[in-house]
Chains A and B, each alone.
Chain A
Amino acid sequence: MVEAPMTPVRQLARYGLYAVLALVAFIYLMPLWVMIITSLKDTEEIRTGNLLALPGSFNFDAWVAAWSSACTGGTCEGISTYFFNSFQIVIPAVLVSTLLGAVNGYVLSFWRFRGSELMFGLLLVGCFIPLQVMLLPMARSLAFFGLANTTTGLVIVHVIVGSGFTTMFFRNFYIGLPQELIKAARLDGAGFFFIFRRIVLPLSTPIIVVTLIWQFTQIWNDFLLGVVFSGAETQPVTVALNNLVNTSFGGKQYNVDMAAALIAALPTLFVYVLAGKYFVRGLTAGAVKG
């Protein structure tokens, strides 16, 4: 924190510090490492070899099986279909909930009306309510509109559940913008959408990125809504993965389990590696309220 002269004792303490940090890093990485190498071993090597050791030869059979032939409950076609299902759910749900959040946040920050603060409060509480209290009525409503077990239905549910968070993100970001900017434009007679498009949106790039990444991760990783509201054909990849891992007939193929888990984790890990900074900002934005 504050620079101090480097004595031998301090030097030693620094080495110790780095050693501890490296050890912890090893512990955090270990499960991922084991997943990767296990997915590249054959069943025999898993039984006999060391858990942490590299496989004798790289063998991608398990990846092929996980992708196209492993059994996920009723069918044995791998998780590829469900992988694409997830994209079909995630893309519209992320876009719609982000747009909704931007507009809501804009209103709640710059166009307050009587009761708008109360609405924001209700919305915030809504973010943290356990989804279990919505599941049964939501299932009835979706069935009523003929949307049970459809991708559209699942997208709608994700938008409803997600827009509380997206609104909070945008509202907390907009509160930090200089209000004078918008006031001046309003005094000049600029309208609601004009200010939004020309003044507010161009300033919103960071929060848009944060929100897109946050929503992508949340919805891709969702399991509860997927398992309740999707049908056999429209399952997201998390549900298929869980079915694959817990399908119990035949010998347990841990290498296929691991390959399937890695496939399911790849998109969010990819986004994390690419834009981790924004992911962290989303995490902290969810906790540090404005």
Chain B
Amino acid sequence: MNHSHSTLSRSPASSGSTKTSARQGGLSGWLAAQLPKLVMAPTFVIIFVCIYGYIGWTFLLSLTGSRILPVWKFVGFQQYEKLFENERWMVSLQNLVIFAVLFIALCLLIGMVLAILLDQKIRGEGFIRSIYLYPMAISFIVTGTAWKWLLNPSLGLEKLMHDWGFESFTFDWLVNPDMVVYTLVIAAVWQSSGFVMALFIAGLRGVDDEMIKAARLDGASLPTIYRRIVLPSLKPVFFSCVVILAHIAIKSFDLVAALTGGGPGYASDLPANFMYAHAFTRGQMGLGAASAMVMLGGVLAILIPYLYSELRGKRHG
């Protein structure tokens, strides 16, 4: 059918007409004009139903007292009140703040330093880069499993240090409610810092060489060149990284599931784990929906200003 269509609309071309097929009259012309929209229709439906429609649906659910099954009896914003009185939720929010701030800061720092180090005409750069980046290719579940073993208080890194003669070394963060959230940071930074490095290397390669050469001739030192010329021109990359890392942090779920299981107790829960537990295993659908809406609010608070500045920047550019 596609083929017959293309031959149909091709025929006027032989007569030397410069009109596009869309401007011809008749059914086939109309169809040709509508074709792009028809092709997009399934995606259009998906966006409106499965993304924006479902958000509305979740919002409505969050206004009900639903437990195991949806019950359409509205209770106003009670679930949100319950949510913010819930100790476990507050712990998960607090964890998210600690986790996100440290995760983003460390990934940026490590990624940026590695990118600059690799930018010094390193022999075997491609190979080294691929070592720094491979954790990005594996699942957070695998990462969590690996670090659960490494951080095992009696057999992992702690035992290694004892074997090496540091008998007093203790590293029990995995079972210490006050420290367990930092184990998430360690594993997540290991997995994602290479990503920041990759983005920054791509950015560094885009910096105008002439400017650097000119600065060199003026006698500027390498650190000065990076500080004054190179890094300022990478501001967009920097913001992209922050937004993407923040996004990874907010949706972090699998790492917690595999590494700590949210424990000890619920000391290392993140909002996504709270949402899953209440919506799907504890029969607290309304509360789960409310927590999902709060998560959405958090993401939008970061995303909308970012997209806005991006789009505005492009229009002016």
Contacts and interface: CB of A to CB of B under 8 A. Distances in A.
Interface of A: 1-2, 17-18, 20-21, 24-25, 28-29, 31-32, 34-35, 38, 46-47, 50-52, 100, 103-104, 107-108, 111, 113, 116, 119, 121-126, 128-140, 160, 163-164, 167, 186-194, 197, 217, 220-224, 227-228, 238, 241-242, 245-246, 254, 257-258, 260-262, 264-265, 268-269, 271-272, 276, 279-280, 283-284, 286-289
A261 to B, nearest CB: 4
Contacts of B267: none
Given A163-B43, A238-B139, A254-B149, A122 B52 contact: yes
B15 to A, nearest CB: 9
B256 to A, nearest CB: 10
B155 A47 contact: yes
Contacts of B122: 17-18, 21
Given A223-B257, A261-B142, A1 B120 contact: yes
A31 B272 contact: no
A119 B55 contact: no
Interface stretch (B33-41, B97-105, B168-176): B33-41
B199 A283 contact: yes
A259 to B, nearest CB: 11
Contact of A289 (B11, B118, B310): B310
Contacts of A134: 50-51, 54-55, 58
Given A283-B136, A289-B310, A104 B118 contact: no
Nearest to A22: B128
Q: Is the interface of A mostly helix, strand, loop or mixed?
A: helix
A214 B225 CA distance: 35
Contacts of B224: none
A191 B299 contact: no
B52 A100 contact: no
Contact of A241 (B8, B18, B142, B299): B142
B292 A132 contact: yes
Q: Which 10 pairs across A and B sit closest by C-beta, in order of nearness?
A: A189-B13, A194-B6, A191-B6, A221-B139, A111-B36, A272-B137, A223-B254, A132-B292, A193-B2, A137-B57
A138 B279 CA distance: 12
Given A28-B131, A221-B138, A286-B244, A107 B36 contact: yes
Contact of A28 (B9, B55, B148, B194): B194
B160 A104 contact: no
A130 B295 contact: yes
A133 B293 contact: yes
B89 interface: no
Nearest to B110: A24
A253 to B, nearest CB: 11
Interface in B229-253: 237, 240-241, 244, 247, 250-251, 253
B160 A50 contact: yes
Contact of B275 (A1, A132, A245): A132
Given A17-B122, A287-B199, A189 B12 contact: yes
A272 B137 CA distance: 7
B188 interface: no
Contacts of A104: 39-40, 43
Nearest to A246: B261
Contact of A130 (B212, B225, B296): B296
A189 B36 contact: no
Contacts of A221: 138-141
Interface residues on B, range: 35 or more
A20 B55 CA distance: 48
24 contacts: A20-B117, A31-B146, A46-B155, A126-B52, A128-B303, A129-B51, A131-B251, A132-B276, A132-B296, A136-B57, A137-B57, A137-B58, A163-B46, A191-B35, A192-B5, A192-B6, A246-B261, A257-B149, A261-B142, A269-B138, A272-B134, A283-B195, A283-B198, A287-B237
B155 A17 contact: no
Contacts of B194: 28
B106 interface: no
B40 A242 contact: no
Given A25-B131, A51-B159, A224-B253, A138 B39 contact: no
Given A35-B146, A193-B2, A264-B139, A136 B289 contact: yes
Given A51-B157, A125-B307, A192-B35, A160 B50 contact: yes
B150 A133 contact: no
A200 to B, nearest CB: 13
B54 A138 contact: yes
B258 interface: yes
B182 interface: no
A189 B307 contact: no
A283 to B, nearest CB: 6
B20 A119 contact: no
A254 B159 CA distance: 15
A25 B40 contact: no
